[in-house]
Structure 1
Amino acid sequence: MTAPDPELAHRRFIGLLAERGAFSAEWTRPVFERVPRYAFAPDTVYVWREEHWRPVRRQDDPGK
C-alpha cells in the first residue's frame, strides 16, 4: 500500500469545497489552493458522540 499523494488529496478537497459552494467570494478559492492542507485541516479533529468529544484521526480513516 502506498501513501496517499498529498497534492492529489489537496485538489480533491478543493473540488469538494467548490461543489458545496464554499468559495462564495472570488478570492477564497485561490487562497485555499495555495495553503497546504495541514494548515486548515489538522490530522486530528474532535466530534461530539455519545455525550463525549471523540478524536477522529486522519491515519485511522485517510479517505475522510
Structure 2
Amino acid sequence: MHSETHFALHRLRDTELRTQAEEYRLAASVGRPRALRTRLGWTLVELGLRLAAVPRTAATVP
C-alpha cells in the first residue's frame, strides 16, 4: 500500500475515534440516575443469596 494512502486511512480512523470519544464524554457528563439501578441490583443479589442459602428438607410422610 502506498504510504500516503496508508497515512490517509490512519487520519480517517483517528478522526472517527476522537469523535466517538467525544460522544462518550458528552453522554457520561449528562449522567443517569444510577441510585435506583444500583439499589435494585443489590436487592436482587441479596434475594438470590437468600434463596440459594435456604436449606431444603424433604417432606416426611406420617
Higher RCO (CA-CA < 8 Å; seq separation 6+): 1
Higher strand proportion = 1
Q: TM-score, normalised by structure 2?
A: 0.29
Q: TM-score, normalised by structure 1?
A: 0.28
Which protein is bigger by CA-based radius of gyration?
Answer: 2
Higher helix proportion = 2
